[in-house]
Structure 1
Amino acid sequence: MIITTVTPRFGDADGLRHINNIAISEWFEEARNPVFRFFTPDLDLSYEKWKLILARTEFDYLGEMYYGDDVEIRTYIARIGNTSFVIAHEAWQRGSLRAKGQAVTVHYDFLNKKSMPIPDDIRKKLQEHLITEDKK
């Protein structure tokens, strides 16, 4: 599991004084960077180096989050396939799970416009963070 701490910005709060739901998407994206580094260590976004494409995201909002308290984003791998994997996230604030989500990510060759098998060395790194529902 990878832990990322996010400090909500004033602009993340909405008129109801809680964190707007769009902030969760941004925080989860930020928390994916350590996983992205398995594939592209310098996070270079050039077509020659970047090897991932986002295929799907989903979010469940479980409780309100508030400005003024840090949020812990817990990131782990929920599934590893041949060419894709699922990154799972949980947002915790004040000791409670407030949101969760997943992102289906594909190992992708942008120059040839096709998915590629995940290399064994990267698969091993992903497996270090594999947590399935039955292991939670």
Structure 2
Amino acid sequence: MDAMLQQYPVITEIPVAWGEMDALNHVNNVVYFRYFETARLDYFKEASLMDDIKDTGVGPVLGETSARYRLPVTYPDTLLVGSKVTRIEEDRFTMAYEIFSKKMGAVTTRGTALVVMFDFKNNTKAQISPKLRETIEAIEARKVQPANASI
């Protein structure tokens, strides 16, 4: 596995589906944002962020996202998507992603996301709670390698 991927505390394994290919015989660029979304939701699950919405009415919304494509991905392949938080501010945090292809043995794509906390009851931005900040810091303090992610 790429040494950089070891710097991501949450790793999501995603098989490439045939239907994700485009006319140029590689995964369509929009699909990478779905991969990032899947990884982001896995991170949110680790942080119990989606459970908190039920209790507080405050949750994450995507403010901005980007991707940098390095190598085209083709079917069949299995991808490992690393996710981490690189910056925490009062009402938002920045995430980084890295997609590693098992077939190629290389990083194919890097991405970022700006996640803003939002109070859905009052329709306004919200502060990151001390509990969420501590949880993110605890997740970032560990480096995880999934048991099912052998290369």
Q: Distance in 1 between matches of 2:10 and 2:38?
A: 12
C-alpha change, 1:6 and 1:58, in structure 2 (3 Å) is: same
Which has the larger share of helix?
2
* Structure 2 partner of 1:9: 17
Separation (CA, whole Å) in 2 of partners of 1:119 and 1:42: 10
2:34 aligned with 1:31, yes or no?
A: no
Aligned residue number for residue 63 of structure 2: 55
TM-score (norm 2): 0.77
Describe the superposition over 1:75-127 as per-residue Cα deviations: whole angstroms up to 9, x where unpaired. 11111111100111111112211111111001110221211111111111211
With over 3 angstroms needed to count, the CA separation of the structure-2 counterparts of 1:116 and 1:42, relative to structure 1, is: closer
Q: SS at 2:30's partner residue? A: helix
Aligned match of 1:134: none
AA partner of residue 91 (structure 2): T
What residue identity is the alignment partner of 1:2?
V
Identity %: 26
Work out the CA distance in 1 between the residues paired with 2:53 and 2:89: 22
Closer/same/farther in 2, CA of residues 50 and 120 from structure 1, 3 Å limit: closer
Unaligned runs of 5+ in 1: 132-136
* Residues in 1 aligned to 2:105 and 2:74: alpha-carbon distance in whole angstroms: 13
Matched residues in 2 for 1:30 and 1:105: separation? Answer: 14
User: What is the CA–CA distance in structure 1 between the aligned matches of 2:100 and 2:120, rounded to whole Å?
Assistant: 35
TM-score (norm 1): 0.85
Compute the displacement of 1:42 (Å). Answer: 8.2
Counterpart among 78, 81, 93 of residue 73 in structure 1: 81
Tell whether the 8 Å contact from 1:31 to 1:73 is kept in structure 2 after alignment.
Answer: yes
Instruction: For CA contacts below 8 A with separation 6 or more, give which structure has more relative contact order.
Output: 2
The 8 Å contact of residues 57 and 119 in structure 2, kept in 1 or not, is answered as no
Number of residues paired by the alignment? 128
The RMSD of aligned alpha carbons is 2.0
1:34 deviates by 2.4
